[in-house]
Structure 1
Amino acid sequence: MPEEASLYAIPGLSGVWVVEDITRNSFFIYKVKKVLEYVRSRYQEICVTDTHDFGLALMLDGRVQFTERDEAVYHESLVHPVMLAHESPERVLIVGGGDGLALREVLKHSCVKRAELVDLDEAVIEVCRRHFRKILKGAFEDSRVRVHISDGRLFLEKAPQNHYDVVVLDLTDPLGGGPEKLLYTVEFYKLVRRVLKEGGLMATQATSPFYPKVFGSIVKTVKEVFPSVSYHLAFVPSYSLPWAFVVAGEELPELTAEEAAKRLKERGVSLRYFSPEIIASLRAWATSPELARMVEEAKAATDASPLPH
């Protein structure tokens, strides 16, 4: 599993490079122009670099979270399938996502009246507001936004029942084996379901099928809590892997391309990577025999027995 990414001088190559584990035997590297900021917060190391091929990049504890060049692939994949599946999402909660980019995507939907973001580390928000203002497009300044600095799980335990139309989980991936694994368990997803209104929907990232036990377990765990679950993939170049996303609820609608186009137009949403036709086809990923096998063979994760590492 990817254990860390760090900045290195590589013998025989000029300059400074980001080197990130894909597995213990494979690496993804790219060259850095400049380190713009390094901060050690109460919770983690935060680093912003300017890279040659990907533009500005955010790293947390040595792991690349997103880059300017391809962040829209990840954030559109996480946010818009679930937002468009809901008939009228007015109140949205984002757990994690302190960089503000999932928030930016949620706010594109004019039907949203309140968007709440809860993140543990206020320093991430501050760093991103300094360095990523251009791509944030004023997300944190929007009058519909409320930010909570809190542990996401604790926030959900205290949040009102039946309160949100959509919950988006933009969480640190669980591949490092740390405490974030408790944000991918049956108990955690039950907390998410509790705060959703009738007809409410949830979305989460689910790492990559390249890590079949982890991907399969996340989907299997969501299925233990929600009766209707779909998943889809998108290739994120700066991760060098296809990445998975899950949408879940009481009942997911079969959205046609025409219906998706109508909702996008009515809500004033413009997208860089997704089209109505792509959105309508996303549920076909669940028909993949190989992905279905990963889910079938996986075990649901609990607090007592979390995700495999």
Structure 2
Amino acid sequence: MTAAVLAEGMRKRYGRMNALDGFSLTVLEGTVCGLLGPNGAGKTTAVRALTTLLRFDAGRAEVAGFDVVRQAAEVRYRIGVNGQEAAVDEILTGWDNLVMFGRLYRLTAKAARRRAGELLDQFGLTDAAGKPVKQYSGGMRRRLDLAASLILAPRVLFLDEPTTGLDPGNRNEVWQALRTLVADGTTVLLTTQYLDEADQLADQIAVIDSGRVIAEGTPDELKSKIGGDQVSLVVPNIDDLPKAADLVARATAADAQVEPDTRRISAPVRDRIAALTDVLRVLEDAGIDVADIGLRQPTLDEVFLNLTGHKAAS
């Protein structure tokens, strides 16, 4: 597989602040890369630089095989860009919006109408094609906005927090649309503050902080970096919490993490079933009740906090 997006040592400085400080990233064709990071980490700056909207100070980058600086026009012809705010006109119908965008991309009137019809069908909006966009739900509006960014069937699609502000149902609609695009061969670079979104969609995750990538890999690879499987339990009596935590630490031979507000105790384990059995036995022998117990993997939220020292913004 070849790289659809390649960044090497990109730097961008604003006064004394380094927005990008040696940013490097490789995204393979036909995959989804989730770019995660705290506010101000450089995610949007990286996207603007890779999409030719911002000139960076040092380093190099290629998108769809073309140099972002020297061959900017070629790059623009092969990418789609979708920002945090929908760019469609609320007064026009969905059909009219897509035809208008087609004409702005210099398609003929016939070609623009044909492409509008294809995209409305692809995104499940054919029945709403004749309605003004102001009557659309948030998810429908976002899908129309995605459709508009795909007029020229781009090889690479850049999405900057595409589901911000959407309810869970509308987010699922957008997720399904993105899965369809990737199945058809589109490469997606996605910035998001929703870690469950990255977990659901991304083949690869890159965590950016202070303008550079500090960790990358599949969701499971990143989770394994902070301990793999964990035993997690809740005790109903808060007075039992300190003793239970000590017993869990001994049974697992690991540091036990305690969340007093939820009365939850967690500890990393190697042998899943043996550890679970040992923990239950020592708690039962000590007469400590357990309200809930199970095995789980670390979440991306825990990975994010471990790597950056920040909780993800919501």
TM-score, normalising length: structure 1: 0.33
**Higher RCO (C-alpha 8 Å, min separation 6):** 2
Q: Which has the larger radius of gyration?
A: 2
